[in-house]
């Protein structure tokens, strides 16, 4: 699901769904890139490839933390997100397993097993992808209108602050490198992030971004 626009919506109800669409697009895009690459892995560049996989995995775990700690407790006051929370439990078990496979291979590249990692992804594919897409549908503006605009703005602001204060900075570059050019305006980044941090991350982790579909900056 994509919402074509030249800027983020000003309407908070639409902004909520738009933001989730962009974030979930990043995770889904990277999922399928990793799955494809595992079929013929870059064995001469495993450290960078596995680093790329690790950022995706940790980023998705963090995203679910934001939802569980900040977003869902508020949304659950008037809406039912029990199914999404149940999905998180299943997906979390996969993420823990996949992250362990990544980190074991980073420590000992001889232990790298692309077939095992690929199977881990395939085992969760249906649950993960349907979850990412359904959650966007469940945040439809009309459904969110049981909340006031003020309440929705507060949920968005609190989630953004939590995400920024708890995320690894490298994920900002990861996010950008999975965002097509027409959506580079999102998220809106402060000047130091956009002009100092991003260029630094683009260079510092340039080995990772060769596996991304778009440029960091």
d(CA 195, CA 184): 14
- Tokens at residue 69, please? 């700690």
Tokens for 29, please give them.
């895009």
Q: pLDDT for 80-106, tens place per residue?
A: 999 999 999 999 999 999 999 999 999
Q: Given pLDDT bands bounded at 50, 70 and 90, which one contains residue 167?
A: confident
3 band by pLDDT with thresholds 50, 70 and 90: very low
> What is the structure's pLDDT at 1?
38
Question: Is 176 a residue whose pLDDT tops 60?
Answer: yes
pLDDT given at position 7: 87
pLDDT of 116-165, one tens digit each?
999 999 999 999 999 999 999 999 999 999 999 999 999 999 999 999 88
Of 6, 12, 35, 54, which Cα lies nearest the Cα of 139?
12
What is the spatial distance between Cα 112 and Cα 106, in angstroms, rounded to a whole number?
8
For residue 31, give the DSSP letter.
Answer: H
């Amino acid at each position: 699901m994509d919402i074509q626009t030249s800027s983020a919506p000003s309407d908070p109800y639409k902004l909520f769904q738009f933001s989730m669409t962009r974030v979930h697009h990043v995770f889904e895009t990277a999922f399928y890139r990793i799955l494809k690459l595992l079929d013929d892995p870059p064995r001469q560049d495993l450290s960078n490839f596995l680093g790329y996989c690790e950022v995706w995995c940790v980023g998705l775990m963090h995203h679910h933390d934001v939802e569980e700690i900040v977003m869902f407790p508020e949304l659950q006051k008037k809406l039912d997100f029990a199914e999404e929370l149940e999905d998180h439990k299943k997906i979390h078990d996969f993420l823990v397993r996949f992250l362990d496979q990544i980190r074991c291979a980073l420590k000992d590249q001889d232990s790298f097993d692309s077939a095992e990692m690929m199977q881990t992804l395939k085992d969760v594919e249906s649950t993960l992808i349907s979850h990412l897409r359904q959650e966007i549908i469940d945040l439809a503006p009309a459904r969110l209108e049981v909340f006031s605009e003020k309440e929705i703005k507060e949920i968005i602001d609190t989630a953004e602050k939590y995400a920024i204060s708890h995320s690894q900075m490298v994920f900002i570059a990861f996010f950008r490198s999975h965002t097509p050019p027409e959506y580079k305006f999102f998220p809106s980044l402060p000047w130091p992030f956009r002009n100092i941090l991003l260029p630094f991350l683009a260079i510092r982790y340039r080995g990772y971004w060769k596996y991304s579909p778009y440029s960091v900056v």
